[in-house]
Amino acid sequence: MKLKINTALISVFYKDGLGEIVKRLNEFGVKIYSTGGTYDFIKNSGINVQTVESLTSYPSIFGGRVKTLHPKIFGGILFRRDNTQDIEDQLQYGIPCIDLVIVDLYPFEETLKQNASEDELVEKIDIGGISLIRAAAKNFKYVLVISSRKQYGCLEKILTEQQGKTTLAERKYFAAEAFNVSSHYDTQIFNYFNRQQNINVFKQSIEHANQLRYGENPHQKASFFGNTDEVFTQLHGKEISYNNLLDIDSAINLINEFDEPTFAILKHNNACGCSSHSSMVEAWKLALQADPVSAFGGVIIANRTVDHACAEEINKIFFEVIIAPDFTNDALNTLQSKKNRIILRQKQFAFPQKQFRTILNGVVQQDRDSCTGGTKGFNFMTNKQPDEEQVRDLIFANKLVKHSKSNAIVLAKNRMLLASGTGQTSRVDSLKQAIEKAKNFELPLTGAVMASDAFFPFADCIQIAHEAGINAVIQPGGSVRDHDSVDYCNKNNMAMVSTGIRHFRH
């Protein structure tokens, strides 16, 4: 059954798009009540409008903090049209029947992004608006609530097509939208206050959603909740997939570790190639050299502008995604030769310091692993200390192993990834995998360094690495048998550094 809108209450922060709505309401003879700036806007539009004060006989007080919190307003929204006692109360107290509530909320989230003071933020915590929204949504059987300017287009269509009437299904849908708006709003406020209070609860709300083609596999439905426009701009290519997003996330987190010019190639969230070099063309060639087979269909990322010379080299292989801070016009023209190739311009963006994932029947949350650094925290465990070049390679390898699936081993030399072993159940197997891969691509390991994401419980990995030509090692340390690895290094003139920081990644 459709209900005609006879009376509306309108009080909004954002006025854009409201003009057409009030014109439609006026055409259908709807009586409009409003407040403050919204009242002025409607009146200046030539539409007949009444102040809320004319209904409540009470002025706006406390600098506008209290305007609509009154029984005649909330009674008009909440009373049940088919309830005998409610009808008697309505008539006794002269309460109007409010059929439409158009209210948005003070921009708390937007103000928060502007690094506003606490006093400014507190004044952007809406009280009356959110109460009106919840009241109207609760009484959806009789009242339509519009809680965001994003809904104006849909409302205008309903008003036009249905001559100012609404269906129960429409009212219930907008009630759900209203509770989405109110819950998101409260979540943002809570999380702001909880920065200091640290109440141990999990509350997240993300309104921006993108339906993806599918999940990890074609039979799985998927959505991405978030705004990728904050992180990158897509310049070319097909729709980004679920798996693309996972690789892009891994790629950006990895490249953010490097200050010097660097190229990295990733596959299934692991780096299969990476090199830092003063020449970006050379950095690309060296990154590709580590594993040109795995690079096929991979994700490429750079931390400098990709020029035409780089693009010409990169264009020789098939890849899914390329990310960089910028591209020259000639480079773009070259890279756009494949219509489906995804080209992303990365933006400066500070990632959240909390990470979470679903497990079992709940969620686990942790601090982001922000520890890598340089030589700060290095503990030189062996008689032989690494030389300056080895220290640079150890830092480079440690950044890579941090972003590799455990158990992880990285072999590197001259700030080039030679090979890695990732995702193995045994650290020995990860090392053997890395050595075998380096041999397959004819990359000599003599003089290379090794990084491990966790400590060595035995000296077996140190011995295997030494026999392959490795002469310096970086690891977290902390095993009760560290001395076994140290003793082997001392006997074989190897250098070993511990950081005290483990980098498991599951």
- Catalytic pick among 138, 165, 238, 384: 138
Q: Diameter of the chain by CA atoms? A: 97
Any idea what the Cα angle at residue 106 is, between residues 104 and 110, rounded to 5°? 115
- Catalytic pick among 268, 308, 338, 432: 268
DSSP states of 387-401: -HHHHHHHHHHHHHH
CA distance 237 to 299: 13
Number of residues that make up the chain = 506
CA distance 309 to 211: 37
Q: Check residue 444 and report its DSSP letter.
A: -
- Residue pair 475/498 in contact (Cβ under 8 Å)? The answer is yes
Cβ neighbours of 29 (radius 10 Å): 11
CA distance readout (Å), 494 to 463, 488, 491: 10, 8, 8
Cβ neighbours of 46 (radius 10 Å): 9
- Residue pair 275/416 in contact (Cβ under 8 Å)? The answer is yes
Cβ neighbours of 393 (radius 10 Å): 25
The tokens of 23 are what? 């014109």
The closest alpha carbon to 108, from 49, 190, 180, belongs to 190
Burial 278-296 (b: 16+ CB within 10 A, else e): eebbbbbbbbbbbbeebbe
| Residue carrying the six token digits 């439905």 | 221
The tokens of 479 are what? 């095993």
- Residue pair 114/91 in contact (Cβ under 8 Å)? The answer is no
- In the residue annotation, 466 being an active-site residue is answered as no
CA distance readout (Å), 411 to 130, 240, 376, 414, 435: 57, 32, 21, 11, 8
- In the residue annotation, 268 being an active-site residue is answered as yes
The closest alpha carbon to 190, from 129, 125, 133, 127, belongs to 125
- Residue pair 39/62 in contact (Cβ under 8 Å)? The answer is no
- Straight-line distance from the first to the last Cα atom of the chain, in angstroms, rounded to the nearest whole number: 54
Burial 80-98 (b: 16+ CB within 10 A, else e): eeeeeeeeeebeeeebbbb
CA distance 300 to 318: 11
- Residues labelled as active-site residues: 138, 268
